[in-house]
Amino acid sequence: MSGDGYAVQITKVSMGSWFILALLGSGLIHVSANNATTVSPSIEITRSIKASTAESVKKETKTSNTASSVTSSVTSPTVSSNLTLGPIYVTTVNSSDSVNGTTRSASTSSVGTTISPNGTWLPENQFTDAWTEPWEGNSSTAATTAEAFPPSGNSDSKDRRDETPIIAVMVALSSLLVIVFIIIVLYMLRFKKYKQAGSHSNSFRLSNGRTEDVEPQSVPLLARSPSTNRKYPPLPVDKLEEEINRRMADDNKLFREEFNALPACPIQATCEAASKEENKEKNRYVNILPYDHSRVHLTPVEGVPDSDYINASFINGYQEKNKFIAAQGPKEETVNDFWRMIWEQNTATIVMVTNLKERKECKCAQYWPDQGCWTYGNIRVSVEDVTVLVDYTVRKFCIQQVGDVTNRKPQRLITQFHFTSWPDFGVPFTPIGMLKFLKKVKACNPQYAGAIVVHCSAGVGRTGTFVVIDAMLDMMHTERKVDVYGFVSRIRAQRCQMVQTDMQYVFIYQALLEHYLYGDTELEVTSLETHLQKIYNKIPGTSNNGLEEEFKKLTSIKIQNDKMRTGNLPANMKKNRVLQIIPYEFNRVIIPVKRGEENTDYVNASFIDGYRQKDSYIASQGPLLHTIEDFWRMIWEWKSCSIVMLTELEERGQEKCAQYWPSDGLVSYGDITVELKKEEECESYTVRDLLVTNTRRRGRTDGDLLCAEHSPGARESRGDPGCFPDCQEPEAAAATHGPDTGAVRVLLQGGAGIHRRVLRLRQLQVTGGSAPWTGELPLIFCNILFC
C-alpha cells in the first residue's frame, strides 16, 4: 500500500478517535459533577450574595411566621458554576401553601458555617432538617438557595484557588486519554504495515513441514538509527573479559536482553522478487527471504522467467562493502543456480557451515562430486584435492564453462572450507576450532577475488555468526575495540535474522575473548626453533618467561561445573579419584549399562580430538580398585588400540592408580578376562603382552605381548622425550592394524614423583584377516619410566 493510502487510514481513524474522546471527556465531567453533590471536594453551584441579601432573607422569614398569607421574597441571584475543593455550604428549599398556610423548608449543610431555616446561624459541621406538615391543594413553591460564607473576606479568591486542582486533574486525564489512544492507533497501523510489507511469514516452519530450531521474535523489532549514545556501545578489548563475565551472570540474562534488543529487519525492506510464485520453490524456508535491495542478481537465462533469482544476499564486512554473500544451502533444484552465482561473482572461496544432514533432516544438497567431475548447468566442476582435518574439510575444485558460450573464460580454482564440528544442537563447546577455521579461510582467499560465499542451511544463523566473528576480529586489530551489537544491527538490514539465536550471539563474544586472551598459537614448523628461543627469555618487568606466561593463561580457563552433571551424581561420585576432575557431558566416554543396574554407564574418561581425527584419544583417570571392571569394559567396547600410562602406581605414599593388569596368569573383571602372555624390559620402558577376552562373546583374536621393567637413567632424569617409545598416530595405527582398531587410550594421572610410567597398549596381530572383531583382543602394555 502506498504512503498516501496510509495517510487516509490515519485520518479516518483520527476523526473517529477524536469523537470518541469527546464523548469520554463529557461523560467523565458529567460523572464528576454528579459526585460533587455528595462527596467533598465536589462541584458546587454557587452564587454571589451580598450581606444585605442575607438580612432580607432573615426578615422575610420572620414576617412569614406572623402573616396569614406567606409571601416569599428574595432577590433573584446570579448563578455561576465553579469547581472548588473548599467547604460545602447550606442549601435551603422553602415551599409554601397559600391555602393551608403551611410551610415546608429543608436545610442541609456540611463543613462551614450554616444558616438554620429560621435564619439563625448554626455551628459548623451541623446538619438540620426541618419540615412542617404536608400540604394539599394548590401551592406555590419558591426555591431559595442561601449560602453562608466563611468568615474570611477573601472568599471569592479562595474559591477560585480551591477550584484550580480539580480543573488541572480533569485536563490531565483528558490529555492522557488522547495520548494513549493516539499511541495505540499508531502502533496498530505500524504493526499492520509490518505484516504486509515483507512476505515474511510468522510461521517458522520448513518447506518439508518440520519446524526449524530458530528463536523467532514474538514482537517485531524495528530498525534503529545509529546513535553514539546507545545502550550497547563498542567495547574496548581490555574491558572485554570483564563485560562478558557480567553479561553471562544469571544464565546469560544480560546477553539475552542485548540480543532481544536487536532490530529484526528494516521497515522499508521488501521481498517482492523472493515472493513471486515462480521463485517460492527456490526458497528452502518460507520465512528466510532476501531483501530486494541487497539480493544477488543472476544473469537472466533467455526464455526462463525470473531466472535472475537466487536466495542470497550481499553482506558488508568490516570497512569492506559486499565482502560476503550470505546464501541458503542449495536445494536440488537450485544447485545449477548456485554454481552460476559462483562463476558470475568471481568467487574463489566457499565457506560451508552445516553438514548435509543433521538430525536426519536434509540441511543442504551436495553440490559437488565426491570424485571426478560433474556438470551443473553450463558449469563443470571437478575435484582436485580433499584434505580432512578434525574440525573441517578442505576441498579444491576446478570449474569452467561448457557448452555454447561466447567469450569463454579460463577455468578457475575454487576452495571450499567445510566446517564439520558444529553440533546439531546449540553451538560448539569451544570457539578454538572456529578460530582456526576462520584463520585458514582468511589466509587462502585471493586478494582480488570476488565475494566470499558463506552458507549454512538457511544462510542466516551460523552464516551470520561466521561473518560477525570475521568482521569483529578485523575491528579488534584496527581499533582495539569490538562492536558486536552495532555490526549485527547493520547486517540485519541486508539480510533478515542474521545471527539467529542468543546462543550464537554469546558464542561470538566467546570467540573474540578467546582470540584476545590467547591469540593465534599455531606455528609453522620452520619457525618453531625461533619461537622456542623467544619464549624461554624472561619477560621484561616480570620474573616469568614466555613459556610460563603461556601456561598461566591456560590455568585461567574456567571450569564449567554446570556441564558435569553425570559425574556429579551421588552414585558416581565414588568413582572419581579427584573430585575436581570430572568429564564434561559433551565428550564423556559412555559404556553400556549393566542390565538391572542404574548409573553403570559412567567412567571417568573423556574423548580428546587428534589433529586429523575426532575422538582420537581417551583421557582417563587411573582406575580405582572398584572401577577396574569399568575400565576394561571401556577398553573392550571402544576397541582400544593403545594405553599410555603417565603415573606410578604409588607416589609419596599415596595411591595414584590401582594395578589393573595381572602379575601372572589371568584375572577376570566381570565378563572381561585379562591374561598376561609375555613380559620384556626395554631401555626406557616395560612392555607387557596381554590377551583380553569377553566371556559373553564368541570368537578369538590372538597376538603377542611384550613387557619389560626399567630403572630411571640419566636421560629420564633430564626429562628427555627420547625415552618414549614410538607411539603411532591413530590413523597410522589403523592403517597398520586394520580398520577395527579403536582410539588410543591415554591414562592421565599426574604425580609429584621424579619418574613417570607410560603404559602403551597396541594390537600386534589379528588372525583371521577380515573376520569380525568379536572375542579376544591382543594388547601390548609398555611401562616407561622417565623423568
Which three-class secondary structure state does DSSP give residue 296?
coil
CA dihedral 608, 610, 616, 621 (to 10 degrees): -30
Using only C-alpha atoms, the chain has a radius of gyration, in whole angstroms, of 44
Instruction: Report which of 610, 616, 651, 630 is spatially closest to residue 742, judged by C-alpha positions.
Output: 616
Enumerate residues 6+ apart whose C-beta is below 8 A from 192. Answer: none
- Set of cell numbers at residue 282: 527456490
Between CA 97 and CA 140 the distance in angstroms is 6
Partners of 222 in the β-ladder: 265
Between CA 187 and CA 183 the distance in angstroms is 6
Helix%, strand%, coil% for the chain, nearest 5: 30, 20, 45
What letter would DSSP give residue 231?
S
Give the residue with greater pLDDT, 641 vs 439: 439
Q: Is the pLDDT of residue 726 over 80?
A: no
**Per-residue confidence (pLDDT) for residue 21, from 0 to 100:** 47
Give the residue with greater pLDDT, 119 vs 648: 648
**Per-residue confidence (pLDDT) for residue 193, from 0 to 100:** 53
Question: Taking the CA of residue 431 as centre, how many other CA atoms within 13 Å lie in the half-sphere pointing to its CB?
Answer: 27
Q: Is the pLDDT of residue 35 over 70?
A: no
Between CA 489 and CA 475 the distance in angstroms is 16
- Set of cell numbers at residue 105: 423548608
Between CA 162 and CA 167 the distance in angstroms is 10
CATH class of segment(s) 561-786: alpha beta
- Set of cell numbers at residue 536: 624461554
Question: Taking the CA of residue 693 as centre, how many other CA atoms within 13 Å lie in the half-sphere pointing to its CB?
Answer: 16
**Per-residue confidence (pLDDT) for residue 237, from 0 to 100:** 96
Contact at 8 Å (CB) between 355 and 363? yes
Contact at 8 Å (CB) between 757 and 783? yes
Instruction: Report which of 766, 772, 747, 770 is spatially closest to residue 757, judged by C-alpha positions.
Output: 747
Average pLDDT in the 527-540 region? Answer: 89
Between CA 615 and CA 72 the distance in angstroms is 112
CB-CB neighbours of 99 under 10 Å = 13
- Set of cell numbers at residue 278: 515462480
Average pLDDT in the 715-741 region? Answer: 50
Average pLDDT in the 641-667 region? Answer: 87
**Per-residue confidence (pLDDT) for residue 75, from 0 to 100:** 41
Which three-class secondary structure state does DSSP give residue 146?
coil
Give the residue with greater pLDDT, 369 vs 535: 369
**Per-residue confidence (pLDDT) for residue 178, from 0 to 100:** 87
- Set of cell numbers at residue 301: 537465462
Between CA 116 and CA 51 the distance in angstroms is 16
CATH class of segment(s) 290-472+485-500: alpha beta
Length of the chain: 787
Between CA 785 and CA 457 the distance in angstroms is 52
Give the residue with greater pLDDT, 186 vs 733: 186
For 579-632, the pLDDT digits (tens) are 999 999 999 999 999 988 999 999 999 999 988 888 989 999 999 999 999 999
Q: Is the pLDDT of residue 235 over 50?
A: yes
Return the top range by mean pLDDT from 279-293, 396-410, 728-742. 279-293
Give residue for cell 546513535: 227
Between CA 190 and CA 182 the distance in angstroms is 12
698 residue type, one letter: R
Contact at 8 Å (CB) between 570 and 551? no
Question: Taking the CA of residue 34 as centre, how many other CA atoms within 13 Å lie in the half-sphere pointing to its CB?
Answer: 5
Question: What are the start-end ranges of the H helices in 445-596?
Answer: 461-479, 484-491, 502-518, 528-535, 546-555, 570-573
Q: Is the pLDDT of residue 152 over 60?
A: no
**Per-residue confidence (pLDDT) for residue 678, from 0 to 100:** 84
Q: Is the pLDDT of residue 500 over 60?
A: yes
Instruction: Report which of 467, 481, 466, 485 is spatially closest to residue 260, judged by C-alpha positions.
Output: 485
Q: Sign of torsion, CA 289 293 294 297?
A: positive
For 38-73, the pLDDT digits (tens) are 444 443 433 443 444 444 434 444 444 443 443 344
Q: Is the pLDDT of residue 754 over 60?
A: no
Instruction: Report which of 106, 102, 112 is spatially closest to residue 92, judged by C-alpha positions.
Output: 106
Q: Is the pLDDT of residue 748 over 60?
A: no
Between CA 419 and CA 343 the distance in angstroms is 22
For 169-184, the pLDDT digits (tens) are 888 888 888 898 888 8
Average pLDDT in the 342-370 region? Answer: 97
Average pLDDT, the chain: 74
Between CA 201 and CA 198 the distance in angstroms is 8
- From residue 624, alpha-carbon distances to 558, 603, 617, 620, 659 in Å are 27, 11, 20, 11, 9
CA dihedral 49, 52, 55, 61 (to 10 degrees): -60
Which three-class secondary structure state does DSSP give residue 367?
coil
